[in-house]
Amino acid sequence: MLNIQQLKEQAEHMKERLQEQAPNQRQLIGAVTIVTVIVLLTTIGGLVTGGLAIGAAVLTPVFIFFSPVLVPLGTVFFVGVAGLLSAAGVTLVGVSTLRWLYHYFMGYHPVGSDKVDAAKNRIVDTASHLKERASDYVYDAQENFEHCVAVSTM
């Protein structure tokens, strides 16, 4: 059986464990802050959704009434913006390409120049190999021609 002293020690031990696991002030402030931010953002989201619903209900008749003007205007605006963005993209690609080529030819070794050099060397090797094979074919053809001429004159 447990005596009074042992019960007091167990109670003290249990109290210490609870105090160790209890959140400190900093954790409590962090939790309150997180809950406050979540509630605030949820409230703002609800107000925005309600405002959008009311705005859509009010503006739908206006859009329907002005759609013969707004649809062609929107189409022209979309095509114009798409054209400007495309032109800007093509210009950016062109300038970037020219910059890369300038750095490559000036010997600054831009990103990817090692792959270009490897491809260039591979093309040169292939061309020299094809040149050797072509000269072998020409030599063989000349020998065959001379053999045919010699056989035909006999």
pTM score of the predicted model: 0.46
H or E element at residue 31: helix 25-105
Task: With cut-offs at 50, 70 and 90, classify the pLDDT of residue 46.
Answer: very high
84 in Cβ contact with 92 (< 8 Å): no
The token duo for 11 is 């109670």
Question: Cα–Cα distances in Å, from 93 out to 78, 101, 138?
Answer: 22, 12, 46
Could you tell me which residue, 37 or 16, shows the higher pLDDT? 37
pLDDT in the model for residue 2: 66
108 touches 100 (CB < 8 A): no
The pLDDT assigned to 6 comes to 81
Tokens of 7: 């019960």
Band of residue 153 on the pLDDT scale cut at 50, 70, 90: confident
* Dihedrals phi, psi of 24, to nearest 5 degrees: -85, 180
Q: What is the pLDDT of residues 101-150, one digit of tens each?
A: 999 999 898 999 999 999 999 999 999 999 999 888 888 888 888 888 88
The residues spanned by each domain of the chain are: 30-110, 112-154
Closest CA to 55 of 63, 43, 67: 63
- For the cut 80, the answer to whether the pLDDT of residue 21 exceeds it is no
The 3-state DSSP class for residue 111 equals coil
